[in-house]
Chains A and B, each alone.
Chain A
Amino acid sequence: MITAGDPPVRIRKSRLDWLDAQSRGWHQAGIIDESTRERILSGYAAESAERRAMAVLVLIAILLGSVGLLLLIGYNWDAIPRGAKLALLMGSVAAAFTASAVAYGKGREAAGETLAFAGTLLFGLSIFLVAQVLHIQGRDPDAFLWWGIGVFACAALVRSRAIAVEASLIFLLWVFVEGTFAEHTAFTFVLLWPLALLVGYRLESPWTVGVAAFAAGLAAFFNGIALSHSSLFLGTVALTGCAVYAAGRLHRDGTMMRLAWETSGLAILLIVSIPLMITQVHQELSAYTAGAAGIVVAVVAGGVALAGGSWRSRSATDQVVLAAAAAVCVWIALTAPGFVPAGSASARAATVLFSVLTLAIGVGLIRTALTSDRPTDLAYGVLFALVFLIVRWVSVLANLLWSGLILVAAAGGLLLIARLWRGRATAGVAGRVS
C-alpha cells in the first residue's frame, strides 16, 4: 500500500511497466484522470538492476562458499580428533546464534532471523553427527524429537514464524519416524502437541498450526494401528480429520487460523478416504475386533464433535464433514465389536458408504466454493472428487468400457465445475461493479 509522503515502493521493472500500461488504459477509459494516474505511478519505482544483480551474486557466493566449506570439513572429517569434532559441532551452533544476537543488536532483524534459522539447521546436523562421533547408530526418532523440541524453543525465543514452521515440520517428521519405529507416540505426542500449537498461536503462524494439526492425523494413524487392527484404526484417523476440521470453527470465518485447521482436517480426511474406499481393506479390518474402551472413547468423541458442530454448522462442507463423523461413529460401533459378521457383503457395503461419503465431501466443498467464493474449497473439492474417481477407476481398470465412461464423465464434470466457477466469478465482479 502507498501512503502520501512515503518514499516510492521498489517493484520489478516488468511490474511497473504493467502498471503503467494498465493505468494508461484506465485513463483512456475515463476511469481515472491523468493526475490520479501520475499520483499512483509516483508511489512506485523500478528496482535497480545492479542492486538486484549484486544481491543474487552475493547469495550465490554465500551458497557456494557454505557448500564448499562443508565439503572441506567433510573431506577432513575422519582425520579430525573426536574432541575437535565435538567442539566444531557445538561451536558452529554457538557461532550461528551469537552472530544472530549481534545482528539483532544492530537492528538487522532479517539477518538475525536468517542466522538463527541457520543455527537451528546446524543444531539438527550436530544431533545426528554426535551419534556418529560416538559410534552409535542412534535412535532416529529421538534425534528428531530433540531437534524438534529445541527448534520450537528457538522459535518462541527468537519469535520467528519461519523457525516455528521449521519446528512443526520436524515435529511431523518425528511423528512419522517414531510411528514407523515403535508405533507408540501417544504419550509424548499428547505432551508436545499443545506446546506446538501454543507456539503457533503465540507467533500467529497459521502454517505452524496447520502442520501441527495435520500431525494429529498421522499420530492417530500410528497409535490406532498399535491399538487395534480393526475398523477402530482407520476410523480413529477419519474422526481425527473431522475433529481437526471442526476445530477450525472455533475461529472467526475468513481467518488464516480457521483455514489452517480446516485445510489440515480435509487433508487428513482426503488421505484416509483412499483405503476406506477399497473393499480388500475392509475385509482385512473385519478380521479383527477392538476392546470396548477404545470403541466407547472413539464413538463418544465423535458424538461430542457431532453435537458441538451441528448447532453452528452453516456451509455445505460443514454438513458433509459432520455427516462423515456420524457415519464413521456408526461404522465403528457396528464393526469394531464384531456385531457385523465379517464377509464380502459387509466389506462391500462399507466400501459403498465411504465412496459415497468421499464424493459427498467433494460435492459439498465445490458447492461451498461456488457459493462463498473460496478457492481452497474448490481445490479440495476437486481433489476429493478426483480421489473418488481414481480409486473407483482402478477397481474397473481392466474394463475398457467402464474406464472410458468414468474418464469421460470426469472430464465433463471438471469442465462443468470450471464453467460454474467462471460464471460465479463473473457474477461476483458484476455484482461488485453495480
Chain B
Amino acid sequence: MISKPLGSSAGALGAAVVCLSILFGMLVGHAWPLWFGRTILLPAAAASSRGSMHGDYVNVTTPAMTLVVRADGTGGSATSAAVRPVGPWWNDPSLPPVQKTGRMRGTLLYVQLEPSDGGDYRPVTVSRQPVPGAVNLRGVIRRTPQPDTLSVEYGLDAFYMKQGKPEAVAAAFRAKRRVQLEVAVASSGRARIRSLLIDGVPVSK
C-alpha cells in the first residue's frame, strides 16, 4: 500500500488521543475568551465580504488594527488610532527605522482600551506588557507601514456567516450605518468576536 506498515491498535488509539487532545486544547484556547471574557464594543473602520475555502466571512477592521504611536497621542483618523507608548521600548535610539521594522514584525504587544462617549472602546496606550487594571487587547505586529505606525493583528478580522450574508454587512457599512464588533476580551488579553452589530442590533449568522 503506502509503505510497509508496522503499527498496532494501541498505536492508532494513541494517535487518536494525541490528535483529539490537541484539537480540544485549541478549542478551549480559542473559546476561553468567549466563556470568561469581558464583553466590549469596538467600532468597525471597514467591512468587506470575503470568501475562502473555510467559508464566507466579513473581513472587519477596527481602528485598533492600525496604531499611530506618538508620545503626544496625536495622529489618529477614522481608520487608525493614536496611542501613547507605555515604557521605554518604543523609543530605542540604537535601532534605525528599517532595522526596527524587521525586528518588530511578529512582536507581541498589548493595547489598552478605554470607553468613549459613544459607548464603544478606543485604544489609548500601547505596551509590551499588560497594564494592571486596564482592558488589555493582545495583538501581534504584522508590519510597520510608517516609522511611527504599526499594523497589528488580534485575530478579530473574520466573522464567518452563511453564504451571501457577509455582503449585507458590507453593504450596511457602505451605506454609513453604524457597524460594531462585539468582542470578548479575556484577562490574558486574547480576544474573540462574539457578534457583529449593525446600528446596535446583532446580525444573524
Contact = CB atoms under 8 A, between A and B. Distances in A.
B34 A90 contact: no
A161 B105 contact: no
A162 B2 contact: yes
A154 B13 CA distance: 9
Nearest to B16: A97
B23 interface: yes
B12 interface: yes
A136 interface: yes
A181 B105 CA distance: 8
Contacts of B12: 97-98, 100-101, 104, 112, 115-116, 119, 157-158
Interface residues of B, number: 49
A123 interface: yes
Contacts of A184: 106
A149 B22 CA distance: 9
A226 B99 CA distance: 9
Interface string B122-164: 0000000000000000001000000000000101111111110
A135 B158 contact: yes
Contact of B192 (A86, A114, A134): A134
Interface string B166-205: 0000000000000000000000000011000000000001
B106 A112 contact: no
Given A150-B18, A182-B105, A77 B7 contact: no
Contacts of A150: 18-19, 22
Contact of A160 (B7, B31, B98): B7
A19 to B, nearest CB: 25
Q: How large is the interface on A (under 10, 10 to 19, 20 to 34, 35 or more residues)?
A: 35 or more
Interface stretch (A124-132, A351-359, A365-373): A124-132
A113 interface: yes
Contacts of A139: 140, 153, 155
B23 A101 contact: no
A98 B159 CA distance: 34
Interface string B20-39: 10111011001100100000
Of A77, A97, A120, A159, most B-chain CB atoms within 10 Å: A97
A61 interface: no
Interface in B39-86: 54-55, 57
Contacts of B19: 93, 97, 119-120, 123, 150, 153-154
B91 interface: no
B15 A134 contact: no
Chain B interface mostly = mixed
A192 B113 CA distance: 37
Contacts of A123: 19, 22-23
B23 A93 contact: yes
Contacts of B13: 97-98, 101
Contacts of B160: 132-133, 135
A161 B4 contact: yes
Interface in A58-116: 77-79, 86, 89-90, 93-94, 97-98, 100-102, 104-105, 109-116
Contact of A94 (B7, B20, B57, B159): B20
A111 B12 CA distance: 12
A78 B54 CA distance: 11
Of B1, B19, B23, B161, most A-chain CB atoms within 10 Å: B19
B157 to A, nearest CB: 5
Given A135-B192, A149-B22, A182-B140, A114 B2 contact: yes
B54 A132 contact: yes
A129 B24 contact: no
A113 B105 contact: no
A78 B163 contact: yes
A229 B102 contact: yes
A189 interface: no
A416 B64 CA distance: 64
A236 to B, nearest CB: 15
B7 A109 contact: yes
A308 interface: no
B25 to A, nearest CB: 8
A215 B158 CA distance: 31
Contacts of B205: 78
Nearest to B52: A132
B15 A94 contact: no
Contacts of A181: 106
Interface string A145-159: 010011001100111
A75 to B, nearest CB: 10
Contacts of B3: 113, 160-162, 205
A113 B15 CA distance: 12
Given A150-B22, A158-B12, A77 B55 contact: yes
B93 interface: no
B14 interface: yes
A205 B2 CA distance: 13
Of B23, B24, B57, most A-chain CB atoms within 10 Å: B23
A149 B26 CA distance: 13
Contacts of B10: 101
B30 A78 contact: no
A93 B16 contact: yes
B8 interface: yes
B5 interface: yes
Given A157-B18, A183-B105, A78 B162 contact: yes
Given A159-B5, A226-B105, A229-B102, 4 more contacts: A89-B23, A115-B12, A157-B18, A161-B4
Smallest CB-CB A-B distances: 3 pairs: A182-B106, A97-B16, A110-B1
18 contacts: A78-B161, A93-B23, A97-B13, A104-B8, A109-B6, A110-B5, A116-B15, A134-B31, A134-B192, A137-B157, A138-B155, A139-B140, A139-B155, A157-B11, A158-B11, A160-B5, A161-B2, A183-B102
